[in-house]
Amino acid sequence: MIDSFDDFLLHPTLSRAIKAASYQKPTPIQSKAIPPLLEKKDLLGIAQTGTGKTAAFALPILNLLLKEPPRRKAKCTRVLVLLPTRELAIQVAESFEKYAHFSAISVACVFGGVSDIPQKKALLRGVDVLVATPGRLLDLLSQKAVSFKLLETFVLDEADRMLDMGFIQDIKKIIHWLPPARQNLFFSATMPPTIASLAKSILNQDPIRIEVVPQSTPVERIEQLVYKIDRKRKAALLKALLLEHPEMNKVLVFSRTKHGANKIVTQLEKAKITCAAIHGNKSQTRRQEALGNFKTEQIRVLVATDIAARGIDIESVSHVFNYDLPEVPETYVHRIGRTARAGKSGFAISFCSPEQESELKGIEKATQQKIPIGDFSLLLKSEAPLEKEKTPRVAPKPKTQRKASKKTKLKVKNKENFEENSKTDLKQTRPSRNRPGSRARKRMRAEQNQKT
């Protein structure tokens, strides 16, 4: 097993970039994948983000590009990397840029949800590496803004997520545009039959197969808790935990739905907890802004759906909350794996409502671990003030006043009547002279007492 980057004999500009990134030694997937990829072999990788997968394919691809004389042609790319989400595309493009920083390699990134004009401009003179999401790429292909005439390497990353997001047909269309003689790299975290057959249709015969599990399985290093709680009380519990524990400083909350994510943000904002949501209904700019603010710790909580958060590399997440338990146990493992990265410790807290008991059982079976039950005393302590928030901030107007304004409105057309009514209304709303506790009444009482 190769345990030094020097052993790969990479191009000097790449070695310099690896040193600049402070990578001490290759991760297992890098040790296994880099040598065959340097020989232009096809690869089937069963691996997830967090394993060092991006460098495992980016470094050999860049090395091959650097070894050959530069070939640049208008609108052409020599490498195509396909990813399912905009965030992942940006992340992978940034990794390519990082590793190619000391060379003249050019990298472009195209994704939907933003204007295509700057993207077309970036492609105009041709690029070495193009990182793309399927929808926007097809769009650019139909506009003839990109060409695969010079394509040498095709990478399909996060294939199972592509399937989940309904991109398989788009991918098949894109493959038709690619030249048949090419190197193919296919990565997926799982290998269900549909993905296996897609891989077979893309890869050349006898690809290298590499399977890597994350360096340490989450169950071993992550402290987990589950709160069995009614759906309606989840927001109160989340707020109570965040308010009570300042050490929960970089918190990722998973919501099952986009609407649910928005609701959580509204609830937390009420408690003055800085937060933002990322999901498919948010514009690209808002998603990038939220992610950036979370990474730089300008906000404490990021609420995300699985699709939006998948594969995003965020350092030092202190706590992961499963506001809703996922239906698939593997998703639970993926989610909680966002904490405890790079040898750090981490915490995962799940909320399980009565209707989600079967999901909890599935997770405990898959992780072969009984998740300890969380302590509720905190919620009980904090529920009184939380309940208070339910009362509307603006007190309702007294009935008499409300009546008066209605009356006034109705009769506003007839000035005489209006004025007359206003007077009577005024009379009605004026406080009664001898209402209990009034000065007049007190005086009357005193007079009576004197008489008796």
Give the interface with ligand AMP as residue ranges (CB under 6 A). 23, 26-27, 30, 49-55, 313
Q: Tell me whether residue 26 or residue 126 sits nearer to ligand AMP (CB atom).
A: 26
Contact 371, 360 (CB under 8 A): yes
Q: Cβ closer to ligand AMP: 258 or 335?
A: 335
Nearest to 126, CA basis, from 68, 164, 81, 70: 70
Q: Strand 107-110 and strand 127-132: pairing? A: parallel
User: Helices H, strands E: what count in the chain?
Assistant: 20, 13
Cβ 170 to ligand AMP shortest distance, Å: 23
Nearer to ligand AMP by Cβ, of 96 and 167: the residue is 96
CB 72 within 8 A of CB 129: no
* Beta carbon of residue 303, minimum distance to ligand AMP (angstroms, whole number): 22
Beta strands at 319-322 and 301-304: parallel, antiparallel or unpaired: unpaired
The CA distance from 256 to 252, in Å, is 13
Q: CB-wise, 30 or 421, nearer to ligand AMP?
A: 30
Nearest residue (CB) to ligand AMP, 55 versus 248: 55
Q: Report which secondary-structure segment, H or E, holds 186.
A: strand 183-188
How far apart are CB 65 and ligand AMP at their closest, in Å?
A: 19
Q: What is the DSSP string of 395-428?
A: PPPPHHHHHHHHHHHHTTTSHHHHHHHHHHHHHH
Alpha helices in 165-297 (DSSP H): 168-177, 193-202, 218-221, 234-244, 258-270, 284-295
For residue 358, the minimal CB distance to ligand AMP (Å) is 32
331, containing H or E segment? helix 329-336
DSSP for residue 16 = H
Nearest approach in angstroms of CB 306 to ligand AMP is 17
CB nearer to ligand AMP: pick between 49 and 305:
49
Minimum distance from residue 143 beta carbon to ligand AMP (Å): 31
Instruction: In angstroms, give the least distance from the CB of 51 to ligand AMP.
Output: 5
Burial-class residue 393 by CB neighbours within 10 Å (0-12, 13-18, 19+). exposed
In angstroms, give the least distance from the CB of 168 to ligand AMP. Answer: 23
Tell me the one-letter amino acid at 82.
L
Angle between the 134-142 and 117-124 helix axes, to the nearest 10 degrees? Answer: 70
Nearer CB in complex with ligand AMP: 50/113? 50
Residue type, 218: P
Choose between 21 and 380: whose C-beta lies nearer to ligand AMP.
21
Considering beta carbons, is residue 56 or 123 the nearer one to ligand AMP?
A: 56
**Cβ at position 34, least distance to ligand AMP in Å:** 10
Name the minimum Å distance from CB 131 to ligand AMP. Answer: 13
State the Cα–Cα distance between residues 315 and 307, nearest whole angstrom.
19
Q: Distance between CA atoms of 337 and 48, rounded to whole angstroms?
A: 10
The dihedral over CA atoms of 60, 62, 65, 71, expressed in degrees to the nearest 10, equals 150
Q: What are 209's strand-pairing partners?
A: 44
Q: Is 29 or 265 the residue whose CB approaches ligand AMP more closely?
A: 29
Contacts of 259 (CB under 8 A, 6+ apart): none
